Structure 1
């Protein structure tokens, strides 16, 4: 007789689970917050721009906006406190906030490197550490958002790519470290996705359009991704029914990794 270790039940969904989503003001973060809320979760949407977060929260009553700069020393503790004060627990942490930075080697600057790693590597690390006691209690899960350029080169943006490579290695190390306590850690590595990231990086609109066309032409499926397409995979990784998957980096990029 085959032992049944786990059988999915109707309880294997996100009803009444509590999720923190960073970078929730736009793009993948907004789509993820909405998808989690529609799946029944209580979502704390975190980001720097108050109006953008309010626009995200307007999509579903299950989303609560929490403006914060995650690089501030007290931000991780305050974010965790906001979630636990309102709902008493944390089941899911989605580390999505990050910045894209074009920085050719000849223009490399110490302050720009430090700022990039502060947001893309240090901030999610400190937030995960602050949330960890609650994730342990709930046998919860962390979903980190990397990039296809976390494991393939991006000329002219080596430090951005390196910061995402760091996120992928954090994912693997945390997964092993936390597995004995039942906390799962996985990552998604989206390819070029429709968002405000390029504009936010200070790239001129004409250049943004050209970059988007070039990217789309290189992707085997012939187009850039949509935030909703990535958010659906965050949902799968966060689902408590996904009980035996940890330490994985799932690339979702329309086949770009194969090209």
Structure 2
């Protein structure tokens, strides 16, 4: 194990792009050293790591893994400890999203969506738990409002994220009092990579009391609060959705 870093260390999965990259930037600016996980976005991960390292040398490690391969997950924790000597936080941000209309669902669909959205957060949290407990650390799971308010045509995804909600609460019990475990459930923050029609976008915003798309920074701020400031909060799901769940 490396010598102990003087700064807290957080492992962020799916950190190369979109919300994950925003979380990484916010945590780094707040003084955290980071382990940035990615699966296929090697160029984006390298660009982000270079920018953060330029701001503070020797503060970032990038790691690559397919989270669907459960055997690879303990190595991510080992890499963090080998580099920094500690692990203070885990942000299970990586997600797999795809439609599964009823009548077309296959076992492969089930495996693909549950492996990353439910099984990986469990196994990675399990692997990280001893190191987190040693630092009185915290876990934050990135969830989805669709876990509690299902989206038509996406039954498997909604079920997987629902399992992650239950996992968040179960781990809060299992790991207390040494480790706090909470979740953040975003609303409309970024439209999917494949796009969304104007009518669908307008309908979503019409159901959002604040009447606008959220910002990545809104999610990142909630994650930072749960990791750093919410010392008496565990087992909670923070909805950052502009009031949409109302």
- Same fold per superposition (TM over 0.5): yes
Find the partner of 1:57 among 22, 46, 49.
49
Is the 1:171–1:187 contact (alpha carbons within 8 Å) kept by the matching residues of 2?
A: yes
Find the partner of 2:210 among 221, 237, 244.
221
Is the 1:212–1:224 contact (alpha carbons within 8 Å) kept by the matching residues of 2?
A: no
Gaps of at least 5 residues in structure 2 are: 1-5, 54-58
Once the two structures are overlaid, the 10-residue window that deviates more, 110-119 or 218-227, is 218-227
Determine helix, strand or coil for the equivalent of 2:110.
helix
Determine helix, strand or coil for the equivalent of 1:106.
coil
Hey, what does 1:123 align to over in structure 2?
A: 120
CA distance in 1, matches of 2:124, 2:239: 23
CA distance in 2, matches of 1:208, 1:73: 36
Hey, what does 2:83 align to over in structure 1?
A: 86
Residue 256 of structure 1 pairs with residue 244 of structure 2: yes
TM norm structure 2: 0.90
Change (3 A) 1:65 1:159: same
Change (3 A) 1:179 1:19: same
Deviation (angstroms), 1:224: 1.9
Is the 1:34–1:59 contact (alpha carbons within 8 Å) kept by the matching residues of 2?
A: no
Find the partner of 1:42 among 29, 33, 41.
33
Aligned length: 235
CA distance in 1, matches of 2:197, 2:33: 35
Deviation (angstroms), 1:211: 3.7
Deviation (angstroms), 1:168: 0.8
Deviation (angstroms), 1:209: 5.2
Determine helix, strand or coil for the equivalent of 2:103.
helix
TM norm structure 1: 0.86
Deviation (angstroms), 1:153: 2.0
Hey, what does 2:92 align to over in structure 1?
A: 95
- 1:161-220 Cα deviation digits (max 9, x unpaired): 11111111101111011114x21000000012116xx22xxx4x4x45554343223222
Determine helix, strand or coil for the equivalent of 1:59.
helix
Hey, what does 1:238 align to over in structure 2?
A: 227
Hey, what does 1:9 align to over in structure 2?
A: none
CA distance in 1, matches of 2:116, 2:197: 22
Deviation (angstroms), 1:115: 0.8
Q: Please provide the CA RMSD for this pair.
A: 1.6
Hey, what does 2:111 align to over in structure 1?
A: 114
Change (3 A) 1:86 1:223: same
Hey, what does 1:3 align to over in structure 2?
A: none
CA distance in 1, matches of 2:189, 2:226: 19
Is the 2:109–2:156 contact (alpha carbons within 8 Å) kept by the matching residues of 1?
A: no
Gaps of at least 5 residues in structure 1 are: 1-14
CA distance in 2, matches of 1:24, 1:150: 22
Change (3 A) 1:213 1:25: farther
Once the two structures are overlaid, the 10-residue window that deviates more, 80-89 or 101-110, is 101-110
